[in-house]
A and B are shown apart, each in its own frame.
Chain A
Amino acid sequence: GAVVSQHPSRVICKSGTSVKIECRSLDFQATTMFWYRQFPKQSLMLMATSNEGSKATYEQGVEKDKFLINHASLTLSTLTVTSAHPEDSSFYICSATLRASTVNTIYFGEGSWLTVV
């Protein structure tokens, strides 16, 4: 079963509107979650690190005012794409790390396809 759940899986929105994507860790607490963006035929690019109870850490080149991240609980992080434009159309995916004594394993949400028209 899914360890990390992401919703919605697909969303179409009009240019200029905002879209919220949720990422939930199931059956475990994730103090840190990560948000990635993947354009067609490209790799996953880390956008930001979402920290529970504090501000997100954004990667260089990612606009923090455009991609709002909230990590209000240990099992939920949200990404809001504000004033979306067609160039924001992409596959957005979150991940959480399940920490173990020997190796940490990354689990991904199912991803969200955003289309801005």
Chain B
Amino acid sequence: RKEVEQDPGPFNVPEGATVAFNCTYSNSASQSFFWYRQDCRKEPKLLMSVYSSGNEDGRFTAQLNRASQYISLLIRDSKLSDSATYLCVVNKGTYKYIFGTGTRLKVLA
């Protein structure tokens, strides 16, 4: 089993749609979780950290389910500019982080 798993997609959704991605992780001791966004041929950029109680930042909502060992990202009212690859990141040990393969999102006009 991979340490961090994501559905690679692509998820093709119309503008204005709501879309959700899940990411499962294998290490029950993991404590830090993030969603990063990566545009084509660019470095990943932090979208949001994921907190135990769940957190929201504008149109983006992240949640953590420790019992089932997954995190989720919900995007509401999708914009064309949301088209990117979304990477799930989970810590392994104190400062080492493992990346999922990423989920590609295409928002269509």
Contact = CB atoms under 8 A, between A and B. Distances in A.
Given A6-B43, A45-B99, 7 more contacts: A34-B97, A42-B101, A43-B102, A49-B95, A105-B34, A110-B43, A113-B41
B96 A49 contact: yes
Contacts of A34: 96-97
A32 B45 CA distance: 19
B49 interface: yes
Interface of A: 6, 32, 34, 36, 42-46, 49, 91, 93, 95, 97, 103-111, 113
B106 to A, nearest CB: 14
Contacts of A49: 95-96
Chain B interface secondary structure, helix, strand, loop or mixed? strand
B42 interface: yes
Nearest to A112: B43
B80 interface: no
B80 to A, nearest CB: 21
Interface residues of B, number: 20
Contacts of A43: 87, 99-102
Contacts of B17: none
A110 B36 CA distance: 14
Interface string B53-79: 000000000000000000000000000
13 contacts: A36-B99, A43-B99, A44-B44, A45-B99, A46-B96, A46-B98, A49-B95, A93-B44, A104-B32, A106-B36, A106-B97, A108-B45, A111-B42
A104 B99 contact: no
Contact of A105 (B43, B44, B49, B101): B49
A97 B98 CA distance: 13
Nearest to A106: B97
Contacts of B45: 108
B20 interface: no
A104 B94 CA distance: 10
Contacts of A45: 99
Contacts of A32: 95
A41 to B, nearest CB: 8
A101 to B, nearest CB: 13
